[in-house]
Amino acid sequence: QAVVTQEPSLTVSPGGTVTLTCGSSTGAVSRGHRPFWLQQKPGQAPTTLIYNVDIKHSWTPARFSGSLLGGKAALTLSGAQPEDEADYYCLLLYSGPWVFGGGTRLTVL
């Protein structure tokens, strides 16, 4: 099965902007992969922030946005808050099976 790659860790300053990316071993990520972005805090179940590239759930803070960027899926956080410190996972569809990326640990510091 395909391998989905994410940055293992990133750091952003409070109020700053950071972009997390999600690549695919099979080539460019497209809308057909229906990229998801999930947030997970310690000891909690994941929460889905973004699906189908750029669609937000009602609970997704406006400071999060999804896009396709340079052949990858991207999650941009603009105006980071301390509560955004968490693990972030992308998820891609491959004509039936789904594959998660390894996750990005985001530190707000």
Regarding 99 and contact with another protein (CB under 8 A), the answer is: yes
C-alpha to C-alpha distance for 13 and 60, rounded to whole angstroms: 20
Q: Does 96 bind another protein (CB under 8 A)?
A: yes
Task: Say what the alpha-carbon torsion angle 69, 72, 75, 76 is, to the nearest 10 degrees.
Answer: -30
Q: Which is nearer to another protein, 70 or 97 (CB)?
A: 97
> CA 19, CA 10: separation in Å to the nearest integer?
9
Q: How far is the CB of 98 from another protein (least distance, A)?
A: 4
Q: Given the rule CB under 8 A, which residues bind another protein? A: 1, 36, 38, 40, 45-48, 51-52, 55, 57, 87, 89, 91, 96-103
